[in-house]
Amino acid sequence: MAILLMKLRQVPEDELVDILRLLDEHEVDYYQTSAGAFGISLPALWLHDAAREDEAKALLAAYAEQRRSEARKAQAVLEAAQGTRTVFDIFREHPVKFSVRVLVILLLLWLSVRPFLRY
């Protein structure tokens, strides 16, 4: 009986290629299903051999941890290069858009609270 290794909805293409390469390198027998013509089926990776389930899941967990650490390092480098954005930075970049959004938020807040206020 086939074992579900992982669902592939919203998995980036580069990550899928890396995972398939990893499984091929370790000679894990798997197959891939797609979402189908209407996109309602389950896109996933399935394992043929239940005896290798623990090995395959360990490989995927190790890959996920490696990818997570790489993403965190890249985010840290990006933040170090750009610094942290403040509300004032956002206002300075797009003053009209920022002001309109704040006014819309204040209007919605006023409309929400108005029925409860006594005049």
Conformational region of residue 103, where left means phi above 0, alpha means psi within -120 to 50, and beta covers everything else: alpha
Residue written as token pair 């894990």:
28
- Give me the half-sphere count of Cα atoms (radius 13 Å) on the Cβ side of residue 104: 6
pLDDT of residue 119: 66
**Mean pLDDT, the chain, whole residue set:** 93
pLDDT of residue 113: 94
Each residue of 69-112: pLDDT tens digit?
Answer: 999 999 999 888 887 788 998 999 999 999 999 999 999 999 99
Pairwise CA distance, residues 105 & 111, whole Å: 10
pLDDT of residue 2: 87
Each residue of 45-75: pLDDT tens digit?
Answer: 999 988 999 999 999 999 999 999 999 999 9
Crossing angle for the helix pair 53-82 and 13-25, to the nearest 10 degrees: 140
Confidence of residue 11 (pLDDT cuts 50, 70, 90): very high
Angle, CA 44 vertex, CA 38 and CA 45 arms, to 5°: 145
pLDDT of residue 4: 94
Pairwise CA distance, residues 56 & 63, whole Å: 11
Each residue of 32-46: pLDDT tens digit?
Answer: 999 999 989 999 999
Pairwise CA distance, residues 48 & 30, whole Å: 6
Pairwise CA distance, residues 8 & 23, whole Å: 15
